[in-house]
Amino acid sequence: MKTIVGLEIHVQLATATKLFCGCSTDYRDDGPNTHCCPVCLGLPGSLPRLNRKAVEYGLLVAKALGMRVLEESEFARKNYFYPDLPKAYQITQYDKPLAVEGIIEIEDDEGHEKIVRITRVHLEEDPGRLVHVAGASKYSLVDYNRSGIPLLEIVTEPDMRSPQEARRFLNKLRTILEYLRVFDGDREGSLRVDANISLEGSERVEVKNISSYKGVEKALTFEVTRQKNLRRRGQTVTRETRHFMEGRGITTSARGKEEEHDYRYFPEPDLRPLRVTDWVAEIDLPELPAARKNRFMAQYGISPNHARTLTGDPKLADFYERVAPVDPALAATWVADTLLGELNYRDMSIAAVPADRIAELLGLLRAETVTDRAGVQVLREMLDACAAGRPSERPAAIVKRENLGRTTGDDFSAIVRTVIASNPQAVEDYHAGRKGALNFLVGQVMKETRGRADPRELGRIVSECIEKGEV
């Protein structure tokens, strides 16, 4: 049964003020209903005034996705009642969106390049937010701080064939948006997704309440399984809207799926049509992920895998370019593999890491002042300090304090002999030609010496001691 997936992505644009009024969009650390005015509260007699920066951001995204900007776009009223929508309608764009017909290339599940078509991008206002009171209370509170935040909705064709493809698409889109600097991906709720999913020959189900790109794969995986189980039991998949319960990893039925005519769209009488095609030529695109990846390979001589990882986040790419002058290849390996792994383990951001300290550590590694293993120990101490909000100690000071400076294998000859004497079975395996025996013995010496010696040099010394019978 072929899976068919299309996405509707809602991106909160990082403008200073709301879409139709001058209220600040920086509301997250403030009390409820403190960033409101008659316009975003929908009070009688209030009139919307369009935020030019939001339009420019929308055009920037459209240009980056290779879309065609319409000669005339138009705002409309989407009529429905819900407590978080004080006007009882949402100002959005319907039959005349900002731009149409774009593409994003991703890898399919077989590792081949495939194109996901972008149907349209359009501007709309965010509704307010319902706060459900915990406990036995049977009411919810409404916070209108979010009401009127500018959203850019990006709608795809149903070109994805699995939850994994949907996640890869969102990863790619998110990276492009971050390079364009039109939204802040670290803010809660800055990217929300509605997913339309069906099995070939069945009705389409819309899954809402997906608040993160990581949750898309989980929600769709559950929904595919649910629909397949219905089909196997001979039951019909009902056309409906379902909510994703992230904490439980399931979808639950919310209501029957509305049709477009249920919203009674009609042109917004208080806003004139937009004619902004002449703005597009004035928009300069920044270096996008694909171009930066190719430049990293050409300029720094690093591998495609390292270039892909380093350019997957603009902050990470900027960080790499600050430390690359020490040694581009060494920096790529340590930033993309070692540093990123340590940050993921600690759930830390690259923004918390001082680039000058990492550059100094790379200098010690390049000069062979410390081994790779000792370098990891130094890095962990620095990151622990950053995570605790303390200033990071200089790498050279940590090396001196912890006695982690590189030494020759000859300095550990006594330890080498002790390890050989303590592991007769490994020595016997070595003589039998088992390659893993030497690695085991070297590992034991490295453990005793806290990684201060070069493993390759130790391998030579251990091998010579065994061959000569020096125990």
Among residues 421, 440, 91, the alpha carbon closest in space to that of 267 is found at 91
* Res 285: pLDDT: 95
Strand order in the sheet with 205-210: 68-69, 99-107, 113-125, 150-156, 3-12, 191-199, 205-210, 240-245, 250-256
Strands 205-210 and 240-245: parallel
Q: Where are the beta strands (DSSP E) in 126-186?
A: 129-132, 140-143, 150-156
* Res 454: pLDDT: 65
Cα–Cα–Cα angle for 326, 331, 337, nearest 5°?
165
Report the distance separating Cα 249 and Cα 464, nearest Å: 57
Cα–Cα–Cα angle for 160, 163, 168, nearest 5°?
70
Give domain limits for the chain: 3-282, 289-402, 409-468
pTM attached to this predicted model: 0.83
* Res 261: pLDDT: 72
* Res 463: pLDDT: 73
Burial class (CB in 10 A: 0-12, 13-18, 19+), 10: middle
Those residues whose C-beta lies under 8 Å from the C-beta of residue 298, and which sit 6 or more positions away, are: none
* Res 248: pLDDT: 87
| One pLDDT digit (tens) per residue for the chain, 471 residues | 799 999 999 999 999 999 999 999 999 889 999 999 999 999 999 999 999 999 999 999 999 999 999 999 999 999 988 888 999 999 999 999 999 999 999 999 988 999 999 999 999 999 998 887 776 567 889 999 999 999 999 999 999 999 999 999 999 999 999 999 999 888 877 899 999 999 998 889 999 878 877 789 999 999 999 999 999 999 999 899 998 988 888 898 887 666 677 788 999 999 999 999 999 999 999 999 999 999 999 999 999 999 999 999 999 999 999 999 999 999 999 999 999 999 999 999 999 999 999 999 999 999 888 888 889 999 999 999 999 889 889 999 998 888 777 765 555 666 777 777 778 787 777 787 777 777 787 777 777 666 666 666 666 777 777 766 665
- In CATH terms, 409-468 corresponds, of 3.40.50.2020, 3.60.21.10, 1.10.10.410, 3.40.50.150, to 1.10.10.410
Report the distance separating Cα 92 and Cα 76, nearest Å: 5
